[in-house]
Amino acid sequence: MSSTDLDLENIPSIDLQTFTHASVSKQGDKYWFFEKSEESFPGQTFGLEISRILYHTESPFQDILIFESTTFGNVLVLNGIVQCTEKDEFAYQELITHLPIMSHPSPKKVLVIGGGDCGVIRELVKHVEDNTVESITMVEIDDMVIKLSTKFLPNMAKYHNHPKVNLRIEDGFKFLKETTEKFDVIITDSSDPEGPAEEFFQVNYFKLLLNALAKKGIVIMQSSENIWLNIDYLKDLLVKARIVFKNVAYSQCYMPSYTSGQLGLVIATNDEEKTLQTPLRRFSEEKESQIFQYYSSEIHSASFVLPKWAKNKLDL
Amino acid sequence: MSSTDLDLENIPSIDLQTFTHASVSKQGDKYWFFEKSEESFPGQTFGLEISRILYHTESPFQDILIFESTTFGNVLVLNGIVQCTEKDEFAYQELITHLPIMSHPSPKKVLVIGGGDCGVIRELVKHVEDNTVESITMVEIDDMVIKLSTKFLPNMAKYHNHPKVNLRIEDGFKFLKETTEKFDVIITDSSDPEGPAEEFFQVNYFKLLLNALAKKGIVIMQSSENIWLNIDYLKDLLVKARIVFKNVAYSQCYMPSYTSGQLGLVIATNDEEKTLQTPLRRFSEEKESQIFQYYSSEIHSASFVLPKWAKNKLDL
């Protein structure tokens, strides 16, 4: 269905007992969501017990499933892959946002590609309130995700109408090809390469990012992988990034609801002087505790430290 | 069955299609192991696809299941909880061993409580070969685990007959009550509190550890928890440790096969001068790459860095 048909006030309830979906199965008298992918992570799965199915649709872009879990709060699933759970979403949202923002001397103009759950915007607004970030442009292809997030992930999707946010419903790839604007920070918060986000994991995408980046700007993107899952793919992704950017680093976020309990982020800039592993700006411990749950200047640096074998394999 | 009845040369094959176990279920035409615990981690599960059941028994102490997975190698499961998989076991074995060893100025006498898969011994032997560790005493209650590990985890269980290893098949708790020996490092590599290891998570156990510890000695134990799972339990465990030890720290290991993709380690000493977060001894990067896959001096320090909320909650 399309988003214009979506009536958030009158969402019909779904009977779990008759609901069918490739990711949902019954075990004993309980219903479970299982994240499985023969291609991306064969032989392993993460499961969450379902208490209620909140919504399911095929949007023009992807399969969208939202359920209430028994212990992780509400869960957003795109094409069978967990995007966020209310329990641990702050980990990823904070790391992908504050790594580049706190590494940049003056991140005034920020672009978000994807990010339909609006968690990254929520984090960026903290820096608007701090008089650092002046404008946020978010380009999301699927406004169903935004609308459904306002309903079912209200702690995430609350600032898409913020006066400093310019929300555009269109293809991020196309936007980057056409824009003449230059941004200080570009955050690609996409879904995984299977589906509409496939183009985001190619050399050409890094070139488009560079083209839209102000001098000394910083880009960050989720890698869709981690060191345990497919380190060869990661190595290849870093090689692609290094074709375009002179300074490329790799950070990991550790949270239970992502495959293997961790997800990698690729961060890059053409500023060769910059040490991305060390934040350029720091808040006091007290302020960190007020505005962050996951991020801190210590976490910033530690997130780049990889196990010995992975560090060697990725030439980091 | 008891270990004396175990004939490693003639292990009967098990038919997966007729095998029944609380942790094993069929989905479509595939068989999966699911790690579930209503008590310890309700509503979430980690699953591994099974290619063959290698062994199953009820020892006098616990339920032992060993299977070959399609993508994680052989897997040892005690009382339904994954102890190690061939794919990622080195992460935990290296961190729990090298954190205390590399923090101690001269770790000559080492005691291992538990550790039946013999992975910790394998790691300790690296320091014997380095002329640092002089003797290793290992006290494991269940010799079935050791014997089965020699058969099914041959890369882990290969040094229990090493000339510097004194292997004792008995209750670790009882051993500590009776021993008059003093150790420089004590590693508690137990299973989780449900089962024979329950006593290892109490104040009294920390007192026994202190009693068997040489001056400036260091203890480490797996916490059976992580910050996402049950942070109140962890807080309580650290409080218990601080009743006995003046200097207590908490480190996390990040690996896919443990619940939530991470497992905490409690490390403690009465040496108030020591900064456990910084290794006292370091190898060259080259030597680190030769003898370690997970550990490095960088990983040592980074493993203690927790997300802001967890650091605050645990008073670290």
DSSP structure class, residue A158: S
Question: Shortest CB distance from A72 goes to which of B43, B47, B71?
Answer: B43
pLDDT in tens, A3-29: 778 899 999 999 999 999 999 999 989
A191 — pLDDT class (breaks 50, 70, 90): confident
- CA nearest A166: which of A110, A101, A108, A222? A110
Cα A197 to the center of its chain, rounded Å: 12
Question: Residues near A225 by Cβ (< 8 Å), separated by ≥ 6?
Answer: A231, A233, A234, A237, A263, A264
A229 vs B261: CA distance, rounded Å:
12
For chain B, the DSSP string reads --GGG--GGGPPP--TTT---TTEEEETTEEEEEEEETTTEEEEEEEEEEEEEEEEEE-SS-EEEEEEESSS-EEEEETTEEEEETTTHHHHHHHHHHHHHHHSS---EEEEEE-TT-HHHHHHHHHHTTT---EEEEEES-HHHHHHHHHH-TTTSS-TT-TTEEEEES-HHHHHHH----EEEEEEE---TTTTTGGGGSHHHHHHHHHTEEEEEEEEEE-S--TTT-HHHHHHHHHHHHHH-SEEEEEEEE-TTSGGGEEEEEEEES-TT--TTS-SS---HHHHHHH-SS--HHHHHHTT---HHHHHHTT-
Query: What's residue A3's pLDDT?
Result: 77
pLDDT in tens, chain B (316 residues): 677 788 999 999 999 999 999 999 999 899 999 999 998 899 999 999 999 999 999 999 999 999 999 999 999 999 999 999 999 999 999 999 999 999 999 999 999 999 999 999 999 999 999 999 999 999 999 999 999 999 999 999 999 999 999 999 999 999 999 999 999 999 999 877 766 667 778 899 999 999 999 999 999 999 988 999 999 999 999 999 999 999 999 999 999 999 999 999 999 999 999 999 999 999 999 999 999 999 999 999 999 999 999 999 998 8
Across the interface, whether the CB atoms of B255 and A228 are under 8 A apart is answered: yes
Q: Which two tokens stand for residue A98?
A: 């504050």
DSSP structure class, residue A201: G
Q: Is residue A195 within 8 angstroms of chain B, CB to CB?
A: no
Chain A residues lying within 8 Å of B262, measured CB to CB: 254, 256, 261
Chain A residues lying within 8 Å of B87, measured CB to CB: 228
pLDDT in tens, B62-74: 999 999 999 999 9
User: Tokens 């990698």 correspond to what residue?
Assistant: A264
For residue B236, indicate whether it is catalytic: no
- Contact in structure between A114 and A205 (CB atoms under 8 Å): no
A24 vs A31: CA distance, rounded Å:
7
Q: Is residue B254 within 8 angstroms of chain A, CB to CB?
A: yes
A237 vs A250: CA distance, rounded Å:
10
Residue ranges covered by each domain of chain B? 3-85, 89-313
B49 vs B229: CA distance, rounded Å:
24
Phi, psi for B260 (deg, rounded to 5): 70, 5
Instruction: Identify which has the larger pLDDT, B256 or A201.
Output: B256
- Contact in structure between A116 and A138 (CB atoms under 8 Å): no
Chain A residues lying within 8 Å of B25, measured CB to CB: 27
- Contact in structure between B184 and B106 (CB atoms under 8 Å): yes
Whether the per-residue pLDDT at A40 is higher than 80: the answer is yes
First to last CA, chain B: 45
Phi, psi for A66 (deg, rounded to 5): -125, 125
- CA nearest B50: which of B33, B72, B73, B29? B33
β-strand B109-114 against A247-254: which pairing, if any? Answer: unpaired
- Residue A212, amino acid: A
Question: Residues near B272 by Cβ (< 8 Å), separated by ≥ 6?
Answer: B246, B247
- Contact in structure between A184 and A43 (CB atoms under 8 Å): no
Angle subtended at Cα A5 by Cα A76 and Cα A121, rounded to the nearest 5 degrees: 40
- Contact in structure between A114 and A189 (CB atoms under 8 Å): yes
- Contact in structure between B264 and B222 (CB atoms under 8 Å): yes
The residue of chain B with its CA nearest to that of A297 is B308
The residue of chain B with its CA nearest to that of A294 is B307
pLDDT in tens, A233-277: 999 999 999 999 999 999 999 999 999 999 999 999 999 999 999
CATH architecture type of domain A3-84: Roll (2.30)
- CA nearest B252: which of B301, B194, B187, B205? B301
Q: Is residue B252 within 8 angstroms of chain A, CB to CB?
A: yes
Query: What's residue A195's pLDDT?
Result: 67
First to last CA, chain A: 45
DSSP structure class, residue A78: E
Phi-psi region of B244 (alpha: psi -120 to 50; beta: other; left: phi over 0): alpha
pLDDT in tens, A119-141: 999 999 999 999 999 999 999 99
State how far the alpha carbon of B304 is from the alpha carbons of A95, B1, B280, in Å.
Answer: 18, 41, 15
Angle subtended at Cα A172 by Cα A166 and Cα A174, rounded to the nearest 5 degrees: 115
B250 vs B277: CA distance, rounded Å:
9
Question: Residues near A305 by Cβ (< 8 Å), separated by ≥ 6?
Answer: B298, B299, B301, B302
Q: Is the CATH code 3.40.50.150 the one for domain B89-313?
A: yes
DSSP-based three-state secondary structure for A236:
helix
Q: Is residue A27 within 8 angstroms of chain B, CB to CB?
A: yes
Select the residue from B308, B311, B313, B316 to test the A interface by mutation, using most A Cβ atoms within 10 A: B308
- Contact in structure between B95 and B72 (CB atoms under 8 Å): no
DSSP-based three-state secondary structure for A222:
strand
Select the residue from B44, B229, B298 to test the A interface by mutation, using most A Cβ atoms within 10 A: B44
Across the interface, whether the CB atoms of B309 and A294 are under 8 A apart is answered: yes
Active-site position among A143, A184, A189, A271: A189
Q: Is residue A188 within 8 angstroms of chain B, CB to CB?
A: no
Question: Shortest CB distance from B261 goes to which of A42, A260, A307?
Answer: A260
CATH topology for B3-85 is Spermidine Synthase; Chain: A, domain 2 (2.30.140)
The average pLDDT across A144-170 equals 97
Whether the per-residue pLDDT at A194 is higher than 90: the answer is no
User: Tokens 């004194």 correspond to what residue?
Assistant: B166
Q: Which two tokens stand for residue B180?
A: 């008059």
Q: Which of residues 56-75 of B touch A (CB under 8 A)?
A: 69-72
Helices assigned H by DSSP within chain A: 89-103, 119-129, 143-152, 172-178, 203-211, 231-244, 285-291, 297-302, 308-313
- CA nearest B55: which of B177, B176, B152, B158? B152
Phi-psi region of B103 (alpha: psi -120 to 50; beta: other; left: phi over 0): alpha
Chain A residues lying within 8 Å of B23, measured CB to CB: none
Task: Count contacts between A and B (CB, < 8 Å).
Answer: 135
